[in-house]
Amino acid sequence: MIRVLLADDENLIRSALAALLALEEDLEVVAQAASGAEALAMARAHTPDVAVLDLQMPDRDGISVAGELATVLPGCAVVIVTGHGRAGHLKRALEAGVRGFLPKTVSAPVLTDVVRTVHRGGRYVDPELAAEAISAGDSPLTPREADVLELAAGGAPVEEIAARAHLSPGTVRNHLSSAAGKLGAANRHVAVEVARRHGWI
Q: Give me the half-sphere count of Cα atoms (radius 13 Å) on the Cβ side of residue 41.
A: 7
- 120 and 185 part of one domain: no
- Considering the chain, what percentage of its residues have pLDDT values greater than 90? 63
82, 100, 134 — which closes off a domain? 134
Q: For residue 177, what is the domain's CATH number?
A: 1.10.10.10
Please indicate whether residue 136 or residue 21 has the higher confidence score (pLDDT).
Answer: 21
Q: For residue 54, what is the domain's CATH number?
A: 3.40.50.2300
Domain around 172:
143-198
What total of structural domains would you count in the chain?
Answer: 2
According to the model, what pLDDT value does residue 87 have? 67
Q: Which of 28-32, 151-155, 194-198 has the lowest mean pLDDT?
A: 194-198
134, 158, 187 — which closes off a domain? 134
Q: What is the pLDDT of residues 110-135, one digit of tens each?
A: 999 999 999 999 999 988 878 776 66
Q: What is the pLDDT of residues 134-189, one digit of tens each?
A: 666 677 888 889 889 988 988 889 999 999 888 999 999 999 999 999 989 999 99
3-state SS, one letter per residue, for the chain: CEEEEEECCCHHHHHHHHHHHHCCCCEEEEEEECCHHHHHHHHHHHCCCEEEEECECCCCEHHHHHHHHHHHCCCCEEEEEECCCCHHHHHHHHHCCCCEEEECCCCHHHHHHHHHHHHCCCCEECHHHHHHHHHHCCCCCCHHHHHHHHHHCCCCCHHHHHHHHCCCHHHHHHHHHHHHHHCCCCCHHHHHHHHHHHCCC
CB neighbours of residue 36 within 10 Å = 24
According to the model, what pLDDT value does residue 158 have? 93
Q: What's the burial of 25, exposed, middle or buried (CB within 10 Å: 0-12/13-18/19+)? A: exposed
CA–CA gap between residue 188 and residue 158 (Å, rounded): 11
| Angle formed by the axes of helices 169-182 and 143-152, nearest 10° | 100
Q: What is the pLDDT of residues 40-92, one digit of tens each?
A: 999 999 999 999 999 988 888 898 899 999 999 999 999 999 876 666 778 78
Q: Which residues contact 132 (CB under 8 A, 6 or more apart)?
A: 85, 86, 87, 90
- 158 and 90 part of one domain: no
97, 116, 134 — which closes off a domain? 134
| Phi/psi at 156 (5° precision) | -65, 145
